[in-house]
A and B are shown apart, each in its own frame.
Chain A
């Protein structure tokens, strides 16, 4: 009676498609790097002032690689390439990395496909911080950030910390509590933002342009303040990819798989929030990147965070660099509009795929 039963179905050997799937992250890595290189060249080469491609390349070779190229271009051309376009492209890429990595992390951590980097109040916190900076009559510079960026950064962190602390006081399950608290705090902050906008008078335009997001104020100094935070956070999260993987089947299962869920949740939440805060401080609120990029990459390489995080970072960088280029070429329209135009149809398609229940 206790004989070994036959397999449920005929054995299917590990086939070529399976192997191809294992090699896929490498291929995508190469594609992503190539896309990034193209975005860099186009982003530096194109703009409202037309610069000969030869001059662009010569300036980059001269300034970045130290090649001895005799300047045939006007000094203003060099300023445009080196002081305006290059930091702008690199800022777009850094923010793209940050939003994509933070989005991947929040989705995995909250186990929610609809989560994005702004879900726990970072966006409304940053927006309120920026709005307060606009309406207070003080002008200071902190770590290369203007007051607006400093307060946006602080606002994002304070908001998410508040959400985290408040979420731990109730009797709800931790994830539900985080999401609901995030929603409640976000609503409160949005009310504060509305009030600040009402009081802002002529500065309303400034708040508005921050809310729309963009890279037209990029500079080396601002990049130097934000990029290390984003880089540090992204690497630190990637080193904890295992924890995100463990959470795939829920917190209880994660614990069974050796993950200290409480500790990892706090660390990942802090890192992802730090990244998000740095990103929103330099670029304002840019939607869809952090939501959509992780999903696209997941469709391509599966849910393992170890492939997902670096590839999402690449994808986010390339997407935002191209979106900013499009925004610039279309006459400085807000980059958030471009990402929304790209992202919203994708998101709708995604919603159609999301199943009502996803019990395993």
Chain B
């Protein structure tokens, strides 16, 4: 299951004995997680299970209370932000835009870690932006004020921004919540393409267990801040777990394939 595309050596993402406490609340406890380069992993679990906290740890915007988080063998805390941004892109659930900005201007933000610090975007950066727009299929939105888009369209623009960032690791926080079914599938296809075609390591928080099971070879199930399942969908999503973690009738979860 894991290790496809891995050239050996360092893991892409590795969490060892990680605890996170917010004041008196234990958000994550004793997390050990290892994701090799080229893996495609879906992070699932109920609300408040610690999925977003785990993403923030990996992105380095949150420091663990205990334990270590490494990207390609280097502690994420010891990397400066620019170095992290060249290794890892993040698609947020949502982002606020205080000023009018065209879609292509938002996508171009993804080039910030790469462009010349003073001269700004060069031809290569512009080409990467155009390519990302084409790849996510948002050409029709070019020229429009990003604030006037539908929620689903905005989500695609944020994905395009992360694609333009062209990092070996891509984190996504519920990238499909506002998409209609067709675009959910399209977005999943895009992730599969980035992963299998470009070798991008992907870690995505997903709520839709069906999508997760169908498009991801490896699922990590979080519950109350602990990893309680890690492996192929059919091993992780047992009827008992669906009932205990999500509190629903397993029959409601359509497990394709």
A and B touch in their complex, CB below 8 angstroms: yes
- C-beta contact mask, A237-264 vs B, less than 8 Å → 1, else 0? 0010110011011101101111111000
Closest chain A residue to B84, Cβ basis: A258
Q: Which of A52-60, A300-308, A323-331 contacts B (4 or more CB under 8 A)?
A: A300-308
A109-158 contacts to B, CB under 8 A, are 111-113
Q: Which residues of B contact A48 (CB under 8 A)?
A: none
Q: Are B193 and A4 in contact (CB under 8 A)?
A: yes
Which applies to chain A's interface (DSSP): helix, strand, loop or mixed?
loop
C-alpha spacing A255/B113, complex, angstroms? 10
Q: Kindly name the residue among B94, B99, B104 whose own CB sees the greatest number of chain A CB atoms within 10 A.
A: B99
- C-beta contact mask, A165-189 vs B, less than 8 Å → 1, else 0? 0000000000000000000000000
Q: Are B137 and A358 in contact (CB under 8 A)?
A: no
Interface size on A, residues (CB 8 A): 46
Q: Kindly name the residue among A2, A14, A245, A258 whose own CB sees the greatest number of chain B CB atoms within 10 A.
A: A258
A202 at the interface (CB under 8 A from B): no
Q: Are B99 and A113 in contact (CB under 8 A)?
A: yes
Q: Are A10 and B117 in contact (CB under 8 A)?
A: no
Q: Are A304 and B105 in contact (CB under 8 A)?
A: yes
C-alpha spacing A252/B139, complex, angstroms? 26
A355 at the interface (CB under 8 A from B): yes
Q: Which residues of A contact B60 (CB under 8 A)?
A: 255
Closest chain B residue to A251, Cβ basis: B61
Q: Are A259 and B81 in contact (CB under 8 A)?
A: yes
Chain B proximity of A205: nearest CB distance (Å):
40
Q: Are A256 and B61 in contact (CB under 8 A)?
A: yes
- C-beta contact mask, B140-178 vs A, less than 8 Å → 1, else 0? 111100110101011011100000010000000000000
A326-360 contacts to B, CB under 8 A, are 355, 358-360
B96 at the interface (CB under 8 A from A): yes
Please judge, given known A-B contacts A5-B182, A111-B96, A258-B113, whether A11 and B106 are in contact too, CB under 8 Å.
no
B249 at the interface (CB under 8 A from A): no
Starting from the known contacts A250-B96, A257-B113, A303-B101, 11 additional A-B residue pairs (CB-CB under 8 Å) come to A2-B189, A5-B185, A8-B138, A239-B117, A242-B117, A245-B112, A248-B98, A256-B59, A257-B112, A259-B81, A298-B99
5 A-B contacts, Cβ less than 8 Å apart? Answer: A7-B139, A9-B139, A14-B130, A257-B112, A303-B100
